[in-house]
Amino acid sequence: MSLETVSTNKSFGGRQGVYKHASTATGTDMTFSVYVPPHEDGAKLPLLWYLSGLTCTHANVTEKGEFRQACAEHGVIFVAPDTSPRGDDVPDEDAYDFGKGAGFYVDATEEPWRANYRMRSYIEDELPALIAAELPMADMGRQAITGHSMGGHGALTIALRNAGRFRSVSAFAPIAAPLQCPWGEKALTGYLGADRKEWRQYDACALIDDGATVPEILVDQGLADNFLTEQLKPELLEQACERAQIDLTLRRQPGYDHSYYFISTFLGEHIAWHAERLKG
């Protein structure tokens, strides 16, 4: 795979890069960002995946997340992919919650989405292989994953489906139960069709109820989030984890909304939490 460097900038002693490559999973060019903290030659560093939410690209967290100081302090590589395929020939819909910017980290099976909307394969398989090939300092045996909103849904479901790959998983205001909220019902119907059994592999609560597990989960949720009641439903994740005896730390944060002001406030704490579990 050929990797094109879009930009690089020094930050906190490390290097923030933005890169583009031709994806076989999506059939399009894909752009992602990577922050590599300062390190000694030959060092191997753990990495944290960050999956973004609806309407976002790699740029939202890269420019607003305020994560680099914490990554430099703890020696963690930070990888931020895009949320969907891009390009003039990629099918789209005139809506913020479906189509471009709203890939929901699924492999679509319905037309016309199935050719390009393969974000599950891209995140689970193609991009990790590219990172392993292009970043010799990346220790692929020490990975963690987090994400926001739709990306929180992605982080939870990817970790639950890939037992043992990630040493830790966290989320910010995740869409906890896509089978039971308007965003999820719209996206999963459009990408996967009407058979709700096929949706379960993309719902954290359903995966847990079906036997998938991780040792522990950290979630931050703002209580002033206008999507809290209708779309996010963290109480359903809380109940599923209780049934499965998964150690969930759900921190309800008074006054915080759904924005990057919220994420940037607590992202450093998440990085420190992941770093502790990525040691050794």
CATH number of the structural domain spanning residue 135: 3.40.50.1820
Q: Is the separation of the CB atoms in 19 and 34 below 8 Å? A: yes
User: How far is 21 from 72, CA to CA, in rounded Å?
Assistant: 26
User: How far is 22 from 4, CA to CA, in rounded Å?
Assistant: 9
Q: Is the separation of the CB atoms in 138 and 77 below 8 Å? A: yes
User: How far is 202 from 124, CA to CA, in rounded Å?
Assistant: 13
User: How far is 207 from 99, CA to CA, in rounded Å?
Assistant: 24
- Rg (the chain; Cα; Å): 17
Convert the pLDDT of each residue in 17-31 to its tens digit: 999 999 999 999 999
Q: Is the separation of the CB atoms in 117 and 28 below 8 Å? A: no
Mean predicted confidence (pLDDT) in 181-189? 98
Residue 1 binned pLDDT confidence (cut-offs 50, 70, 90): low
Mean predicted confidence (pLDDT) in 153-182? 98
How many folded domains does the chain comprise? 1
pLDDT attached to residue 280: 73
pLDDT attached to residue 2: 80
Residue 106 binned pLDDT confidence (cut-offs 50, 70, 90): very high
Smallest Cα–Cα separation from 50: which of 176, 151, 131?
151
Supply the pTM of this predicted model: 0.98
Mean pLDDT of the chain: 97
Here the tokens at position 78 are 């930070």
For 121, the domain range is 3-278
Active site residue ranges: 149, 225, 258
pLDDT attached to residue 200: 98
